[in-house]
Amino acid sequence: MNLPKTVVIGIDGVPFDFLIQQCDKKIMPNLADIIANHPHKKMKSVYPAISAVAWTSYMTGRNPAVHNIFGFIDRNPNPLELIINTGAMRKCETIFESLSKKGYRVISINVPMTYPPFPVNGIMVGCFMTPEISKVSYPEEFYRYLESRGYVIDPDARLFDESPDKFMHDIHRSLDARLAIGFDILEDRQWDFYQLHIMESDRLFHFFWDSATGNGQYSDACRLVFRKIDDFIGRVCSFIPKDARLLILSDHGFCKTRREVQLNTLLEKAGLLSFVSGKIKSLATMHPSTVCYSLIPGRIFLNLSGREQYGTVLQRDYDTVRHQIKDVLQNLKDPETADMAIDKIFFREEIYSGPFLHRAADIILHPKNGYDLKSHFDKDHVFMMSNISGMHTYDDAFICGINLPIEKVDEIKDVRAILES
Amino acid sequence: MDHLSCLENQSIYIIREGYNRFRDVAMLWSIGKDSTTLLWLIRKAFFGNIPFPCLHLDTGYKFREIYEFRDRIAKEWNLNLKVHKNETAIARGVSPHTGKLECCTELKTNALKDAINALRFKALFLGIRRDEHGIRAKERVFSPRDKQFEWNYKSQPAELWDQYKTETLDDEHIRIHPLLGWTELDIWEYIRREGIPIVLLYFAKNGKRYRSIGCETCCNPVDSDADTVDAVIEELKTTTLTERSGRAQDKESAYMMQKLRSLGYM
């Protein structure tokens, strides 16, 4: 028990350059003070750069083949079915549990992949995947306090289609509640390790990228989001003791979406994926002659004999087939601009290692910024426009720390080690 | 009287009472084993001629075997079959692939609302059973629904000693559940005794059978070698799997899927 008190503020998906600009524009004066006096840098995320995988890598300090979270969704190979990953699928211990065991008092609020909330020596409030408020917390009864204070689990993104105004309003409603209640918990409860996660920034960049980064109808509302976050940072800094450690980080960056790329449609056009005729195209109606199929984001699974329910690709052809698929994918070009859409193609063992490597996709694609890899089964076109205006990026997450050796961090899975030493 | 005859008598009593009270009634026929058993009982109650329509809510995603069975039986038994689809939602592109929760809500729940409004039924016969699902355990035999079709489980009439509440307010309609007290095993034993025809999907083929059927997109078979009614009955006496375990989703994962879809994460 010799770690100083520690506060972690997660700002989901906020790119390094964007935060620096907010500081320069005096939208985030408190953060500007911190980075003027403390180290800060760009940090790499994880492949694929999405919150489920990135925050699980953060909290476990491990790569996906060890922690077993490869995306928000996954598939069981046999019987073939789509599954949704929750924290219950995670296969190794988190920083919240290991600090709890050592006797530290832990509070964690809204960190992705903490649904279902698990026992800690303190309080855990589950993430945006929580289906109802009564299931949001450990200890279970703590939800009554949250409910009485008007806590909001997550803004409802379905509102965007109805009206962007309504969704923006919901983002602020949720953020206000989280920051207010989160600060009261920080002030009123006992803790040695406190983490609060802000998800609203990710929603903002997905749906309001142009307004958030330029001048648009919602620019004021976007700036206000970051003013509120900065105000929270300021209050935290004045509350915590001088020798406390403070970490502010995001889990991936963001850029503008140019096109959605439908990988299953591409595979189908290339003759690698087919469906039983007369059926609606889906995972369940793939024809056994399928060579491979894709799940979001950019994950390709071979229809491997002995593994997949209707697998027909022979084990001995595994590597040959992977190379053939790679050849099909690597020269994929945007038909309008002739720009390359794929940045890197990995075979799973090149980026992951651990006991759950066999559960990883066989091939993992990393797109060029702007090409958002999707994997619907029923689309007619490979390149499509999207109503989602921003997409995740890999190498420009943000990290800054007070009393923490952040120079030791290269990618998000390195963070746990500096927090625990 | 043996157990099955006892259940049969009770159900026929409820069916006749319901029809006598409400007249503007229909039965909801999903073509599954329970509602087909209900259909059998209703035919018995009225000596082969059902004096009201059989309503099928067609999502368009039912198994081919279900459609074939429906059309064959409707003809053989001379049913007044009414097929209802939520065409507006289908035109809007609602499907299991765009979100299963929304799909069920639109193509089943809202389709039923439409049908009741359009055809002006005062009461509906349904083949639900108390042992299917926790929430159904709280159901009543005569179960009122309000104007919004909501079931307020807190204000359900007591049904002590089989005293049923059959009066309704003008803006209510009543769901009548003649099979409420039956178990899955009772249904199968009654199917065996009566020789009721059912969809062949319930019987094992290549080591799998469907224990509960609905839309093809959202039902999975269970491992089973039970390829006859007798074998199914034997299996049910020992199984530990729940009846609806092959149904795609509980509400929680449906909620998560909807959430991830709205964010473009699936």
Find which of A50, A72, A154 to mutate to test the B interface (most B CBs within 10 Å of its CB): A72
Closest CA of chain A from B256, distance in Å: 6
Chain A residues in contact with B95 by the CB 8 A cut-off are: 280
Nearest by Cα to A104 from A322, A361, A420: A420
Share of chain A above pLDDT 70, in %: 100
A131 contact B CB<8A: yes
Check CB contact under 8 Å for B266 and A296.
yes
B263 contact A CB<8A: yes
How do residues A130-141 score in pLDDT, each as one tens digit?
999 999 999 999
Chain B residues in contact with A282 by the CB 8 A cut-off are: 96-97, 217
Residue A364 DSSP SS3: strand
Q: Residue B52's Cα: distance from chain center in Å?
A: 17
Residue A332 has pLDDT above 70, yes or no: yes
Chain A residues in contact with B251 by the CB 8 A cut-off are: 131
Looking at the domain A259-385, which fold is it?
A: Gyrase A; domain 2 (3.30.1360)
How do residues A239-270 score in pLDDT, each as one tens digit?
999 999 999 999 999 999 999 999 999 999 99
| B3-176: CATH number | 3.40.50.620
Return the pLDDT at A305.
Answer: 95
The amino acid that residue A309 corresponds to is Q
How do residues A140-197 score in pLDDT, each as one tens digit?
999 999 999 999 999 999 999 889 999 999 999 999 999 999 999 999 999 999 999 9
Residue A112 has pLDDT above 60, yes or no: yes
Chain B residues in contact with A89 by the CB 8 A cut-off are: none
Closest CA of chain B from A93, distance in Å: 24
B161 contact A CB<8A: no
A50 contact B CB<8A: yes
Closest CA of chain A from B100, distance in Å: 13
A6-256+393-419 has CATH 3.90.1300.10 classification: no
Q: How is residue A336 written in tokens? A: 């309008």
Stronger pLDDT, A217 or B105, i.e. the higher one: A217
Q: How is residue A182 written in tokens? A: 């989160």
Q: How is residue A247 written in tokens? A: 């970490």
Of B217, B256, B265, the CB nearest to A131: B256
How do residues A370-400 score in pLDDT, each as one tens digit?
999 999 998 999 999 887 899 999 999 999 9
Check CB contact under 8 Å for A84 and B258.
no
Domain locations in chain B as residue ranges = 3-176
CA distance A106 to A191: 6
Chain region(s) in chain A for CATH 3.40.720.10: 6-256+393-419
Check CB contact under 8 Å for B252 and A378.
no
CA distance A128 to B266: 15
Q: Find the range with the poorest average confidence among A79-83, A115-119, A157-161, B30-34.
A: A79-83
Number of neighbouring beta carbons within 10 Å of residue A63: 21
- CA distances, A303 to each of A191, A267, A274, A351, B228 (Å): 49, 12, 11, 21, 34
The amino acid that residue A332 corresponds to is L
Kindly give the confidence (pLDDT) of every residue in chain B, 266 residues in length, as a single tens digit, with 9 standing for 90 and above. Answer: 899 999 999 999 999 999 998 899 999 999 999 999 999 999 999 999 999 999 999 998 899 999 999 999 999 999 999 999 888 888 877 887 766 777 888 888 888 888 888 888 889 999 999 888 766 777 888 888 876 667 766 667 777 676 776 666 666 788 999 999 999 999 999 999 999 999 999 999 988 899 888 888 888 888 889 999 999 999 888 876 666 665 555 678 888 888 998 888 87
Q: How is residue B247 written in tokens? A: 């149904």
Return the pLDDT at B250.
Answer: 64
How do residues B73-122 score in pLDDT, each as one tens digit?
999 999 999 999 888 888 877 887 766 777 888 888 888 888 888 888 88
Check CB contact under 8 Å for A206 and B264.
yes
Chain region(s) in chain A for CATH 3.30.1360: 259-385
Residue A339 has pLDDT above 80, yes or no: yes
Angle at B259 between CA B258 and CA B263, to 5 degrees: 115
Check CB contact under 8 Å for B262 and A157.
yes
**Cβ contacts of residue A306 below 8 Å, gap of 6+?**
A315
Share of chain A above pLDDT 90, in %: 92
Share of chain B above pLDDT 90, in %: 46
- Mean pLDDT for A54-71 is 98
Check CB contact under 8 Å for B256 and A129.
yes
Of A72, A79, A131, the CB nearest to B255: A131
> How many Cβ pairs within 8 Å bridge chains A and B?
50
How do residues A340-376 score in pLDDT, each as one tens digit?
999 999 999 999 999 999 999 999 999 999 999 999 9
Return the pLDDT at A122.
Answer: 97
Chain B residues in contact with A376 by the CB 8 A cut-off are: 97
The predicted complex's ipTM stands at: 0.89
A124 forms bridges with which residues in the sheet? Answer: A108, A138
Find which of A115, A128, A130, A158 to mutate to test the B interface (most B CBs within 10 Å of its CB): A158
Q: Which residue of B has its CA nearest to A262?
A: B266
Return the pLDDT at B96.
Answer: 77
Return the pLDDT at B169.
Answer: 63
Chain B residues in contact with A81 by the CB 8 A cut-off are: 220
Return the pLDDT at A167.
Answer: 97
Q: Residue A265's Cα: distance from chain center in Å?
A: 25
Beta strand B142-145 with A371-374 is unpaired
Return the pLDDT at B153.
Answer: 65
What is the per-residue burial (b if ≥16 Cβ within 10 Å, else e) of A164-189? Answer: beebbebbeebbebbbebbbebbeee
B207 contact A CB<8A: no
Return the pLDDT at A323.
Answer: 97
